[in-house]
Structures are given as C-alpha cells and as structure tokens.
Amino acid sequence: MIQRQRVSVTVNGRAYEREVEPRLLLSDFLRHELDLTGTHVGCEHGVCGACTILLDGEPIRSCLMLAVQADGLELTTVEGLTEDPEKLHPLQQAFWEAHGLQCGFCTAGILMTILPFLKKNPTPSEDEIRLALSGNLCRCTGYQHIVDAVKLAADYLGEESS
Amino acid sequence: MKPAPVDYTAPDSLAEALALLAEHGFDGKLLAGGQSLVPLLNFRLAQPGVLIDLNRVRDLDYVRETAEGGVSIGAMTRQRTLETDPLLVERAPLMNQAAPLIAHPQIRNRGTVGGSLAHADPAAELPVVAVALEARFRLQSHAGERWVDARDFYVGLMTTELAAEEALVEVELPPLPPRTGCAFVELARRHGDYATSGVAAIVTLDEAGVCSAAKLVYLSAGDTPMTAAEAAQSLVGSELSSESIRAAAAYATTAEIEPTADIHASAEYKRHLAGVLTERALLAAKARALGGAG
C-alpha cells in the first residue's frame, strides 16, 4: 500500500494542505481536492493546453505535474484573475467583448497562457500572438476572435498601466 | 489517462537521489521536468514502482563556462533557459536556435536539458543539437561517474547507454572554432509539434573562405539522431557553393538518413523535405560563419 503524502501549496494567495496519493495529477488535485474547477482537463498528455496554470508566475501544464511536486510552491489558476466575481479581469473582459470563446472549454488555459505573455510582451504583433497561442487548442473558434481578444486585452492592459 | 499507483520521493541532494536509484534499480525512475515521463505515466506506458524527483536537487541547474572555453550545462536546467542564456548565445548558438522549436513555452518552463537528452526521442531537438556540437555527457551513479560522447550515447529507439542506476547529470559542449556558423532548421505542421523533418548544420571556414569542417545531424530520420558524415565530408575543401551544397544534401538524404512513413508524411516526402531543409541550413550556417557570429 502506497502512503499518502502531505502537500502544502499556495493557490491564488490562499494556503491549502491536503494528503494525497503520489499519483494524483496537479490538475485533478486543483479540481477535486481544492474544488477549483476553473482549470479544465483536456488531453492529459500536455498537448491541448486546457489545464495551463501559473507556477511562480510562469505558465505550465498542470496535467504534467504531480500534486506532490507542488509542495511548497505558489500557483495561480484562472480563479485568481479577479477577486470580485462581479468584476472581470481586463483579459476576461476583452475575451467577452471580442467573442474570444464559444464553448469556453479551452478559455481558462488560454487566459493563463496570455496573462504572462502580455506581461512580457505588452504590444505583440499578430504573428507573435498566434505563436503564443500555438500551445492551446480551440476546436470552436478558428482562433480569429481569440487573436482579436488578445489584441483588445493588450490595449486594456496598456491603458491600465499608463 | 491516470497514472498507476506509484510511490514518490523528492531527495534534495544528488547523492541521495543516486542512492535511491541504486536501491530501486529498474523499479525506480528519475523524474526531471516530467514533460515526457508524465504523459507516459498517464497513458500507463510507464509504470515504475517509485518516482525519484530531481526537482529539489538545486545544484544541477546551471550554465557555466568550462576551462577550455566551452560550456557545461546542468541536467536540471530548464529548456526555457536555453533560449536566452547569454553564454549559450555566444558559445553555442545552435542551442538557442533550436530551443524555441521545442514544444511550447508551457512545456519549456518545466522540461529539462537532461530529461530530453536521456529520453532519447529521435524526433526531439536537443539530442540532435548535442550530437552536432560533439557534446559529452557525464553519467553518474552511486558508484562513480563516466563520460560518454553524445554520438555513442544514443544506441537505438529511445535507448541509450544509461544503466539503470545511472543519471545523466551534466552536458559539456566543446568550444566552437573561429569562423564557425550553425543553423537549426525544421518543419512541423504546427509550431511546437514534433517536426516532420529537421537538421542541424555546422560549418567552419578557413581564412580563405574554404570549408574546413562540416557537420549534418537530423531528427525524425531514423531511430537515433542521424549523422550524415559522408555528405558533410564532401563539403570540406569546397567554398560551399550552391552546387556543392545541393550535392551534399542529395547524398545525405538518399544515402545516409532513414526516415520512416507516419500519418503525416511518406518516407519519400521526408527525404525530399530533409534535402530542402539541408540546403537552407547549410546556406544559413555559411552566412553566419562568414558574418563571424555563429
């Protein structure tokens, strides 16, 4: 019998502690142990990007990490974008206004990919946006409105910081 | 799509990790960045008894200058570091030309140099880069260490020289001679996908502009990184004219590589594509050798 192991992790600024099986994926830990179901699970082998979250501010695939590996680390999920559920983050606002989603399954992963991307590159070209999105699959939109939404988000975030 | 039950331990020193590896033998598996191993666990293609996580071993994450003027890279260095590290830009530019082609930033933030090299996927960029740059790998076990040349390390499809109790802990790249240019060129259906074909080209010119050394190594062209030694040798003594480059590309892709068909492309198409990429890579490497910047 394999022993459960203790995980202490900070997610969106809040500390959590659980005992889990070592084989539990971080994506499943977030959804089933912490009830943070905003992080979606698609392919579970690192291809689709739906489960993208931030580890120390950098995007990673949460399906390619075990929950026990996150012990002592700081994570940000899509729930961490905004504290007030009535008020959208400028990135979310842009995706809403530009129709950057249809079914929405891929959206959380895309937001968590684009947030650090726009921090590093606040005024990206369309080619750079498309490259940044290449690790996130969307099967509804054909990407055009997602690209538009990222451009709009860059404008909003630019206005915010100026 | 969930891993089978597995035990997990995260030692914070290499010595401890190697002792655990010796204790568990084939039942133990080192976990580096996890970007290849965790999918294999999820698919249950790999079912080790215990995972020995190297992520808490801090002193395997470095890029340093060697006494000879080359570069040594710790096995747990993240692939993302390869894109921008100034020492690599200066001393081993092939490394940061190839790094952005490895999957996506989300993968490169976790994926490690040692992990990719030891995984030995013939479609991966880093093994090809290591063979092209004549890298040496330091393999360490609880009992000692040995150095193996990258070209001898890859023995078959995802099969390497590594023994069950050994870890690949360091990569050493020799310095490149003056007037050397490198290029890494690949074609993937979508950025970040496994490339259908790809090649690393390195050329060195003498003071008169005549090629004095050349190297061509391919990905997705056989069971291991495939070196086209004779094609590269045919370039030595030439001025890398379009004709000599075309002839070398034709020879490499008909006689020296062994691509196989997959759902995306026939073997014949891959040979053709490899030829086109070889010409582009050699021209780019030549231009960089002439320009002085690798």
pLDDT, tens digit, 9 for 90 and up, residues B218-253: 999 999 999 999 999 999 999 999 999 999 999 999
A134 touches chain B (CB under 8 A): yes
Model pLDDT, residue A1: 78
- Considering chain A, what percentage of its residues have pLDDT values greater than 70? 100
Q: Are A23 and B107 in contact (CB < 8 Å)?
A: no
B191 touches chain A (CB under 8 A): yes
ipTM over 0.90: yes
User: Alpha-carbon distance B96 to B108, whole Å?
Assistant: 12
How many helices and strands (H and E) does chain A possess?
5, 5
Give the mean model confidence (pLDDT) for residues B99-109: 96
User: Alpha-carbon distance B199 to B283, whole Å?
Assistant: 12
Q: What is the DSSP string of A54-96?
A: EETTEEEEGGGSBGGGGTT-EEE-GGGG-S-TTS--HHHHHHH
When CB atoms are compared, the residue of A52, A61, A66 closest to B8 is A66
Question: Which residue is associated with the tokens 């310095």?
Answer: B175
Two tokens at B115? 């992990």
Least confident of B198-202, B276-280, B290-294: B290-294
Model pLDDT, residue B77: 98
Model pLDDT, residue B292: 57
Residues in A 46-105 with any Cβ partner in B closer than 8 A: 46, 49, 52, 55, 58-61, 63-66, 68-69, 71
Which residues are within 8 A (CB) of A43 and not within 5 positions of it... i.e. 6 or more apart?
A: A50, A63
Q: Is the pLDDT of residue B294 over 70?
A: no
Give the mean model confidence (pLDDT) for residues A56-84: 97
Give the mean model confidence (pLDDT) for residues A34-43: 97
Chain A residues with CB-CB distance to B192 below 8 A: 134-135
Q: Is the pLDDT of residue A162 over 80?
A: no
Q: Is the pLDDT of residue B293 over 80?
A: no
- Considering chain B, what percentage of its residues have pLDDT values greater than 70? 99
B1 touches chain A (CB under 8 A): yes
Two tokens at B171? 């990569």
pLDDT band at A84 (very low <50, low <70, confident <90, very high): confident
Give the mean model confidence (pLDDT) for residues B16-40: 97
Pairing verdict, β B7-9 and A58-61: unpaired
Chain A residues with CB-CB distance to B38 below 8 A: 25, 45-46, 63-66
Q: Are A64 and B35 in contact (CB < 8 Å)?
A: yes
Structural domains in chain B, CATH included, are: 7-53 (3.30.43.10), 58-173 (3.30.465.10), 180-291 (3.30.390.50)
Which residues are within 8 A (CB) of B212 and not within 5 positions of it... i.e. 6 or more apart?
A: B204, B205, B206, B236
Q: Is the pLDDT of residue B14 over 60?
A: yes
When CB atoms are compared, the residue of A5, A49, A135 closest to B8 is A5
Q: Are B192 and A135 in contact (CB < 8 Å)?
A: yes
B121 touches chain A (CB under 8 A): no
User: Alpha-carbon distance B52 to B18, whole Å?
Assistant: 9
Reported as a single tens digit per residue, the pLDDT across A94-147 is 999 999 999 999 999 999 999 999 999 999 999 999 999 999 999 998 999 999
Contact (Cβ atoms closer than 8 angstroms) between residue B261 and residue B294: no
Question: Which residue is associated with the tokens 């099986």?
Answer: A21
**Which secondary-structure segment (H or E) carries B91?**
helix B86-91
First-to-last C-alpha distance (Å) of chain B: 44
Reported as a single tens digit per residue, the pLDDT across B52-100 is 999 999 999 999 999 999 999 999 999 999 999 999 999 999 999 999 9
- Residues forming a β-bridge with B197: B187
User: Alpha-carbon distance A75 to A69, whole Å?
Assistant: 12
Kindly compute the dihedral angle of the four CA atoms of residues B154, B158, B164, B170, in this order, to the nearest 10 degrees.
50
Could you tell me which residue, B288 or B1, shows the higher pLDDT? Answer: B288
Model pLDDT, residue A160: 85
A3 touches chain B (CB under 8 A): yes
User: Alpha-carbon distance B82 to B63, whole Å?
Assistant: 9
User: Alpha-carbon distance A124 to B156, whole Å?
Assistant: 42
Model pLDDT, residue A85: 81
Chain A residues with CB-CB distance to B2 below 8 A: 23, 25, 28, 44
Structural domains in chain A, CATH included, are: 5-81 (3.10.20.30), 90-161 (1.10.150.120)
Residue B253, classified by CB atoms within 10 Å of its CB into exposed (0-12), middle (13-18) or buried (19+), is buried
